[in-house]
Amino acid sequence: MSDILQHREDGILTLTFNRLDKKNAITTVMYNALADAMFAAAEDAAVRVVVLQGHEQVFTAGNDLADFLKNPPDTSKPDAEPAPVVRFLEALRTFPKPLLASVAGPAVGIGTTLLLHCDLVYAADNAAFSLPFVNLGLCPEAGASLLLPALVGYPRAAEKLMLGEPFYAEEAVEMGLVSRLLPPGEVNAYTQAQAAKLAAKPMASLAATKALMKKGQVGLQQIMGDELKLFGALLRGPAAKEAISAVMEKRKPDFSQC
């Protein structure tokens, strides 16, 4: 069975993380599947809304670190084929139709930053969000360095991005990342109901409204490119190597020489 499930019904394409034994950690194959599905949905008139969801106990643990180390994104060659994660990020940035997310349990790294590109985010009261990039010797991605301060203000964004400590469902609502909280067993159904409302509306009006709101994200494409270049450089650096080795070896990292 695929690690990304696709279900189409009544104009709604639902993409489900389906790698529960690995806490829905995302591999390069999964990134390609997500990107392919979203690029196709953008061009398919029969798809009016896309929903991203996971299991009621876990949204996604973020990048699969072992897979990530085997297939790191190489941003040093501008003419090279974009890495799967870069394709997915571009699909998020450019998606012209309503994009919803249903989050329960942990949403780590890109599991949180992808939400900044969604039009509506609904979460279970067991949701836990985390932006641990600095703790891994890395930097933000997905435009988070621009989008998060714009959403929550610089001081709070700095706290989340620099300390990398988890934050939870009620705070996510208060800071504007999440629209509504529901019980874990109800959040996916509620998100589907909201998606159905959107699918019944005139698509030209929805697309125009989204495009107008996104015009305020001046410089997002450039920022995402800058983030990826820095991310790639840091990934090859000593702090990231130490941090990822520590995760693999289940020990506390030592950054005293970084």
Q: What is the mean pLDDT of residues 180-206?
A: 97
Residues of the chain with pLDDT > 90, as a percent, come to 84
For the chain, the domains span: 4-184+202-206
**CATH number, span 4-184+202-206:** 3.90.226.10
Residue-level pLDDT at 77: 62
Mean pLDDT of the chain: 94
Q: What is the pTM of this model?
A: 0.94
CA–chain centroid gap for 92, Å, is 8
Pairing type for strands 4-9 and 12-17 reads antiparallel
Relative orientation angle of helices 84-94 and 28-43, to the nearest 10 degrees? 30
Q: Above 70 in pLDDT, residue 75?
A: no
* Alpha carbon distances (Å) from 74 to 16, 70, 91, 228: 27, 12, 18, 9
Could you tell me which of 111, 94, 89 has the C-alpha nearest to residue 102? Answer: 111
Question: From CA 125, how far away is CA 182, in angstroms rounded?
Answer: 6
Tens digit of pLDDT for each residue in 35-58?
Answer: 999 999 999 999 999 999 999 999
Residue-level pLDDT at 78: 61
Question: From CA 33, how far away is CA 245, in angstroms rounded?
Answer: 28
Q: Above 90 in pLDDT, residue 82?
A: no
Residue-level pLDDT at 68: 76
Phi, psi angles (nearest 5°) of residue 72: -70, 145
